[in-house]
Structure 1
Amino acid sequence: MSEVKITAELRTEFGKGAARRTRRAHLVPAVIYGHGADPKHVSVPGHELLLALRTANVLISLEIDGKSELVIPKAVQRDPLRGHLEHVDLLSVKRGEKVTVEIPVQTEGELAPGGNLLEHVLNTLPVEAEATHIPTAVTVSVEGLEAGASILAKDIELPKGSTLATDEDAVVIQIVAAQVEAVEETEEEGEEPAAAVEDAAPEA
């Protein structure tokens, strides 16, 4: 995994008002945690951070006051309507250190004929990996699987250097039988309206 270098600034103002001013300056408030140190409050360029976060578990080299610090994203808060970054929690890591992260589960291949459905029970898989070699994703083949089949966590081949960090019998993907709904015709072609037609009474 390649590193993304971003220059950040230490924050000295806190609170909602300060956060709004930071965002108006096209920066994102962030907090760095880890290794038992006190949390470090920084401001990160919004556009650069947004591009970096397109890669899951991206490794970021933050340049702060002339010093570099390796971090990975742990929690990202976005505006629910516009999707803008509002706040990010970053975990400080070291080379050679093992970390537990969630990696996306991707699928490849075609299911057996029959119109069955593929259901992701888990969209991500918890794994333990070296901080500078975190897999971007894991790919699972569903080629030829039929309804009732399932793929467990222990069935997935992990990238070299990664180990499973969840119950090995956890269901990750399952194949569900297609539900066919019978459509009943309420009227046949040429059928008269269901409402009864009354004959007019003869005039006196």
Structure 2
Amino acid sequence: MHPKFNYAIIGSSLLAFGIYLGTKLSHRPEEIEPFSKNPSKSAQEIERIRSIPKPQAPDPSVPVQTKPPAVRINALAQLNDPSHEPQTDIRIIEHLFGQVRTVFHELPSGDHQEIVAFLRGKNPRAIEYLPADDPNLNDEGEIVDRWGTPFFFHALSRHRIEVRSAGPDQIHWSGDDIVSESQDAPAT
């Protein structure tokens, strides 16, 4: 016999058996109680369905929230703490970028204001790493070091950002600058 012929016979046999079984199981009058045969049970079932609470229209006086509330994290709470060494400030910012990389699988890019905007919640998950009133932000919204100079962020790759403080002389790229170690991100 040809293999296709065997499958055809088996398939048609199973189909015939299924039809036979279906007709036998569908004709069991002792197990079927039609809705109309027991009017009191039908009325009870109708009343039960009517008692199910219906959805209510929204209250027009309550504002509709269009996006989920932002998650707020004060990531720079210890930044510029006088009891810490200035290098600790760099480590705090590196830690913040490490958290961002863990969540977003890359770091924010752009200039200082764009990076701060990302950290203030303008990101795909609306996570606010910095509150708007963070004392480490100057009037222009830049993250400043303990001497009041904005940090300089240099993207080395999607996973690495060099963080630079101008140091006590408040001049970037001078001898007293404090710079991150710019380590590679862990392999994932």
TM-score past 0.5 threshold: no
**Greater fraction strand:** 1
What TM-score does the superposition give when structure 2 sets the normalisation length? 0.27
Larger radius of gyration: 2
Determine which structure has the larger helix proportion and give its number. 2
